[in-house]
Structure formats: structure tokens, C-alpha cells
Amino acid sequence: MSEFTFADRYAQSALSPSAQIITSRQATANRIVENVTQSQVFDLVGAYYGSPHVSLTWFRDEFAKEDASFSLVNNEREMKVLAALILEQLLFKEDPETILAIVTGNAAAQRPPEDASWLLCSARETLVRLSVANREPKAVPTEVGPTVNPKLEAEIAGVTNGDWETLLAMLAKMRTENLSSERTISNQAKKGLNALKRELELVKEESQMLWWLFSGHSKTLARSFSSLSAPHAAVAGAIDLGVLTSFSSLGPIAVPGILERMLNGAKKAKTSQPTSLAAIVDGFAVADLEALTASVKDLPPWLAPISAALKLAQTMETGGWHTRYTTQTGLDATSSIDPLALANQLYREHLLGQFL
């Protein structure tokens, strides 16, 4: 990932503040990065996508410390660029929560950023890179041995009979060496076991995913994917796979391929007409919605729109949630969505929810 300066990013957005303003903004941004909270990360992502459902009072107050004239009204466009710059620094820190928030905030391309589109590209690239890097096999330390002090052995051999004072001093040194040796062995063993545990957890996670894929059976809905339409299989499969991602933060890079393979086993539609999110969600029985939402976390609706649709449909009557959905997410429930895009979006929403 290429590092751009604040001036570079401002220029990309056709903004040209003074050098003093850029220096002031960068100092504030660095302070925010060092102390940012989870809710503030979500606020920054909301600001980046222009969501009206986030409170940016804290954001304005931070920049007002260096520039009392800073306003969310007069500096609205610059505010989006600043949010993107802060989020970019968090990407450099490889923060998985930030990566997932930026990607899910795009809502399967239904909410494109109005400015600083480079941030979304960087987040996607970082997600792919870390999905590979985080699963690379690491060496398991196997060398475990005590520490030995050669000088102490010579000192012990030199103790003469009847020299009790020296003998007592040697016993104290022997005790210290023994404790040090035990501590060293313990640390070596712990390091090796932790490395082995990581490898086993990754293998366990991958094997569970493969058995699930081969079985062709949704654990969440307790039925075969062959009995579900592709859109319904996309929802159930994404939640299934999210639950099975029990160790890694971003999941394997092969997840889109796994979801596509799962969808190939779904019931074939007679026509290839695009399906809206509203039709997909309303097509679930009440019992199915209860099963699906049991694993869905309470993320901000605008950040996790598919999860929000499922929760709204579970608590409201069929069709009655559409208006509330638009109000909460800023998206149209009747817009069509591809099953694979739906599955990938909901899967990432599920991973992001695991941070709560």
C-alpha cells in the first residue's frame, strides 16, 4: 500500500487549503488515531459514506481545538476527506474492525463513496492481503531446555568441607539458577504451545468450513441448500459460514469461492430475473427469520443493512419493514441484489459483529 501525504489526498479531492491548515489537520488526525474508540470508527465510516445516522460532534470538537472556525456545515466535503485520512491510518495499522467496517459500509456497492474512493480500494486490498497473510503457516518452536551457569558448577566444586558459610551461599545461588531455569523452560514451552494452538485453530476452522460445504446442509435453517432458492441459500450460507469463522478475524481468502460453490448447490430458478432484498427477506417463514437473526449482532443498521433487514422483518409484519429499512439505512429495500454479492455482504457483516 503506497503512503500518500495529507497534501496528496487533499489534492486528489481538489481541495487546496494552506500549509498551516494541513499541518493543523494532520496533528488532530494523529491524535484521533491514537485514541479512537469502536463507536468513533463507525462514526468515521458513516461520515465517509455520508450517512446522516452518525453523531460527529466529537469529530468537530477535536478539530476545533486547533481551528476554532472548523464547522461540519462549511467543511462538509473536507470532513469526508479527513474521515478517510484517519481511517487510512487505521488501515496502515491493519485494524480488522476498520477494514470490515469500510467494506461493509459500501453495502455491496449500493452505497458508493462520494469522495476519496481510494479508501474503499485500499480497504479491499488490505482485506485480501491480510486474509492470506494471517493464515500463513508459522514455525512452531520445539527447542525446550534449561539454562546452565558453567561458573556456578565450578564454584560448587571448589567448596571445601566444613565451609558452611560458602555452602549456604552456593545453595542460594543454586536455588536462583533452578528458578531461572524453570522460568525459561516454561516460557519456551508456552511459546511453542501457543504457536501450535494457532495452527490447530486454523486447521479446525478450515476443516469445519470444508465439511459444511461438502455436506450441502444449512445448520442455521436445518435443511439442505438444494431445497432453498439461491437468494435464500445466500442468506443462510453467509450466516452459517460466519459462525464457522471462529478463529480468524477476516476469514480465509477463499470465502467468496466457498459461497459461490454453496450457491451452485441451491435450487435452480426457472427464470434469471433479479431479486430484490425485500422479496428475499419476505420470502422467509417467521421461524426461519428467528433462526437467522439468532446469530445476528446489533450493528448500526446503516453499517450492516442485510442484518438490519432480517431483524426488522423478524419483528414487523411482511412488507411493513420496508419504509423503516430505508429510514435506517438510506437504501431501497426493493433494489435488486445478486445472491453472491448478498452472501459476501452478510458474511462480512457477521464478522464485524463478532467485535461487539
How far is residue 118's CA from residue 158's CA, in Å, rounded to a whole number? 72
Given a cut of 80, whether residue 285 has pLDDT beyond it is yes
Please enumerate in sequence order all residues whose Cβ is within 8 A of that of 349, keeping only pairs 6 or more positions apart, or say none: 104, 296, 299, 303, 304, 306, 307
Q: What is the pLDDT of residues 333-347, one digit of tens each?
A: 999 999 999 999 999
DSSP 224: E
How far is residue 309's CA from residue 329's CA, in Å, rounded to a whole number? 9
What count of other Cβ atoms lies within 10 Å of the Cβ of residue 96?
19
Phi and psi for 299 in degrees, rounded to 5? Answer: -80, 160
Look at 5-19, 33-47, 67-81, 268-282 and tell me which has the smallest mean pLDDT.
268-282
Q: What is the pLDDT of residues 17-49, one digit of tens each?
A: 888 988 999 999 999 999 999 999 999 999 999
pLDDT of residue 157: 67
DSSP 243: H
Of 234 and 275, which is predicted with more confidence? 234
Partners of 276 in beta bridges? 336
How far is residue 24's CA from residue 291's CA, in Å, rounded to a whole number? 50
DSSP 59: H
Please enumerate in sequence order all residues whose Cβ is within 8 A of that of 269, keeping only pairs 6 or more positions apart, or say none: 229, 230
pLDDT of residue 17: 84
pLDDT of residue 42: 97
pLDDT of residue 182: 80
Tell me which residue has cell 479527513. Answer: 82
**DSSP calls for 151-203:** HHHHHHHTPPTT-HHHHHHHHHHHHHHHHHHHHHHHHHHHHHHHHHHHHHHHH
Q: Is the dihedral of CA 48, 49, 54, 56 positive or negative?
A: positive
How far is residue 68's CA from residue 60's CA, in Å, rounded to a whole number? 10
- Quick one: 123 exposed, middle or buried, by C-beta within 10 A (0-12, 13-18, 19+)? buried
Q: What is the pLDDT of residues 217-242, one digit of tens each?
A: 999 999 999 999 999 999 999 999 99
Q: What is the pLDDT of residues 124-174, one digit of tens each?
A: 999 999 999 999 988 888 887 776 666 666 666 666 676 667 767 767 777
Do the Cβ atoms of 245 and 351 come closer than 8 Å? yes
Cell of 179: 528458578
Do the Cβ atoms of 265 and 219 come closer than 8 Å? no
How far is residue 10's CA from residue 30's CA, in Å, rounded to a whole number? 16
Cell of 85: 485520512
Residue 249 pLDDT level (bands cut at 50, 70, 90) = very high
Cell of 304: 450492516
pLDDT of residue 271: 60
Given a cut of 90, whether residue 184 has pLDDT beyond it is no
**DSSP calls for 285-337:** -HHHHHHHHTT-----TTTSHHHHHHHHHHHS-TTTTHHHHHHHHSS-TTSB-
Partners of 223 in beta bridges? 218
Q: What is the pLDDT of residues 307-325, one digit of tens each?
A: 999 999 999 878 899 999 9
pLDDT of residue 312: 96
What count of other Cβ atoms lies within 10 Å of the Cβ of residue 304?
28
Q: Percent of the chain beyond pLDDT 90?
A: 67
Share of the chain residues as helix, strand and coil, in percent rounded to the nearest 5 = 60, 0, 35
